[in-house]
Amino acid sequence: MFNPASFWYLYDSLMVLKAMVAEVNNTFDERIMYFLPHTSYSSSTPSSHSSNSDSPQPQTEVLKHIFKKDMHVSPFSSRRGTYTVESHSPSFHPSQTPNQIFKNASDNPQTIDIRVTLSSSSNHPKLFAHLYSTGIPLDPSEQSFFSFWGFMCRWWWVGWCTYPRILHQAIKLAYQKNLSIWYRPEPRSSNVARHATSSEIIFAKTFHHYLLHILSPPNLSPPNTNPSPSSPSLTLHYTSLTTQLSTHILPIHCPPPPQFPTSSTSTPPQTLKLHILTPSFYSTLLFYPSLQLALKESLFPEREENRLIKSDDGKGVCGVLTKFACVEKGERNRKEKWWSLEGVNKHLRKKVNKGKGWYPNPNYPISQTLGISTPQTSIEKDEKREEKKEEWEGENFLSSFVSSHLSEREQKEYRKAELTFLLAKIFTDGDEGLLKFLGLVVIGVFVVGGGWGFGAYGVR
């Protein structure tokens, strides 16, 4: 069930409006919350939407805020711009209790009145939305059993139909109005990332093990170095914010490697922070031959919209982890019965374009082939640059770590997740749920077909 926006009013003990929280969701399973404090107290008469409302309306508090748009919501609008939110407080009198608000709402049923204006980066209004109530609010504590189920029977379908309605309107805007399409950028640190897929959860766990391994005591001191006891230690805070993974911060103390990348006038920082912005980072690790290249392109992409991880000292994080990753050299302990599956995955990695789904994406949405106008003009340059890259043979540092240091059970789990992810990329545009459903359909067809054939020809 998809809910585009939710609003919460925050009151103090005297029922005085103090703030409002606006939660915005997009169709990509990402979320952002805006905290809007009530800093000024003005009064206004809420507009009436009833044709027969001639009685004077009570004066209400007005909360008004202008804040920066910080999440990609619609493919027909960029991430730049501002929101202006103006809302009347549902509480008309500071001394009212919640029960009194419900009882007094019959005098003025318009208890909710929210206006949102989206302005472009040049401060031109682009979109106006108005949410208001047209009936008396319902108090859940006073609803009978039949009233409750009557309400559910009348309104259960609204939430389930929200997404199909959005899709229907998007098709009309794209084909009938020929609006420009803006590709989805990766979320910023202020956003709540989408849910991780089952494969990405396994990749995240494996990457966690990889970090612990390269920063373990046997690998902390690079060859030919003797760090002094008085040298400052570094602490790596690794934070993964994925909604299906528990948020964890891993402090790992380790001596700084030689030639730590800092300026001559500054001292090495005591703490390095690595913040994962989206679960997509874990799946893109499959397409890099080394950790250094993965960190470089994820921290310092050519386009800001492609940033997958964030750090206060990106060069420091790259320098430290790359040094320790180069020191770690393990013998490949391949299990023969998993070698064939590893070979299949290696071949599939070469077939899957690692840039698929990145910004801007020439394959999704397929605006070029459908004749839909697009604000992007550098797609051809990106394609030519990709053609000039050296042919990648499918080698992957994380896969090598799995073969060398993980148990047979962990290898099996990782290889299956990798195969599922790659097949989903090829056949279902990355949708693992759809891939599993199609797999069940194929199995069902074979079972039914086999049973029919056995019944028709096997029994005489």
Instruction: Copy the structure tokens of residue 168.
Output: 């229907």
Query: Is the pLDDT reported for residue 408 higher than 70?
Result: yes
d(CA 265, CA 271): 18
How high is the mean pLDDT of the chain? 74
pLDDT score for 149? 92
On whether the CB atoms of residues 318 and 299 are closer than 8 A, the answer is yes
- List the structure tokens of 79: 């991430």
What whole-number distance in Å separates Cα of residue 383 and Cα of residue 403?
33
Q: What is this structure's pTM?
A: 0.76
23: β partners: 6, 33
Whole-Å CA distances, 284 to 158, 212, 250, 295, 355:
37, 20, 22, 11, 9
- The amino acid that residue 105 corresponds to is A
Q: Residues 192-228, buried b or exposed e (16+ Cβ, 10 A)?
A: bbbebbebbbbbbbbbbbbbebbbeeebbeeeeeebe
Which residues on adjacent β-strands are paired with residue 43?
Answer: 61
DSSP 304: G
Round to whole Å and give the CA distance between 313 and 295. Answer: 12
Q: Read off the pLDDT of residues 245-260 as tens digits, 9 standing for 90 and up.
A: 454 555 455 555 444 4
Give me 406's structure tokens. 């993980």
> Which residue in the block uniquely carries the two structure tokens 């420091």?
316
CA distance 240 to 217: 23
Q: In what order do the strands lie in the sheet with 5-11?
A: 5-11, 17-25, 31-37
pLDDT beyond 80 at 297? yes
- Whether the CB-CB separation of 252 and 235 falls below 8 Å is answered with yes
Q: Is the pLDDT reported for residue 264 higher than 50?
A: no
Give every CB contact of residue 243 below 8 A, 6+ residues apart in sequence: 192, 193, 194, 195, 196
pLDDT at 206: 92
User: So what's the pLDDT on residue 368?
Assistant: 30
**What percent of the chain shows pLDDT beyond 90?**
17
241, two tokens: 């914010």
Tens-place pLDDT, residues 8-38:
988 888 777 889 999 999 988 899 999 999 8
Based on its alpha-carbon atoms, the radius of gyration of the chain, rounded to whole angstroms, reads 28
- Cα separation, 415 vs 399, in Å, equals 9
pLDDT at 457: 62
Does residue 152 have a pLDDT over 80? yes
Strand-pairing partners, residue 234, are 254
Express each pLDDT in 74-110 by its tens digit.
888 888 899 999 988 775 555 555 556 555 555 555 5
- Give residue 269's pLDDT: 52
Could you say which DSSP state residue 192 is in?
Answer: B
How many residues are recorded in the chain? 460
**Amino acid letter, residue 49:** H
Over 70: is that where the pLDDT of 137 sits?
Answer: yes
Q: In one letter, which amino acid is 135?
A: G
d(CA 431, CA 439): 13
Q: Which of 59-73, 134-148, 222-236, 324-338 has the lowest mean pLDDT?
A: 222-236
CB 111 within 8 A of CB 139: no
Q: How far apart are CA 53 and CA 21, in angstroms?
A: 30
- d(CA 47, CA 63) in angstroms, rounded, equals 15
CA atoms within 13 A on the CB side of 10: 11
Q: pLDDT tens digits for 365-393?
A: 333 333 334 444 444 445 444 444 445 56
The first and second tokens of residue 148, run together, are 């409750």
In the numeric block, the tokens 């042919």 are attached to 391
Q: Are 360 and 380 contacting, i.e. CB atoms less than 8 angstroms apart? A: no
Percent of the chain residues past pLDDT 70, beyond the cut: 65
Whether residue 282 is predicted with pLDDT greater than 70 in this model: the reply is yes
Listed residue (361, 399, 355, 311) closest to 184, CA to CA = 361
Nearby residues of 31 by Cβ (< 8 Å), 6 or more positions away: 23, 24, 25, 71, 191, 192
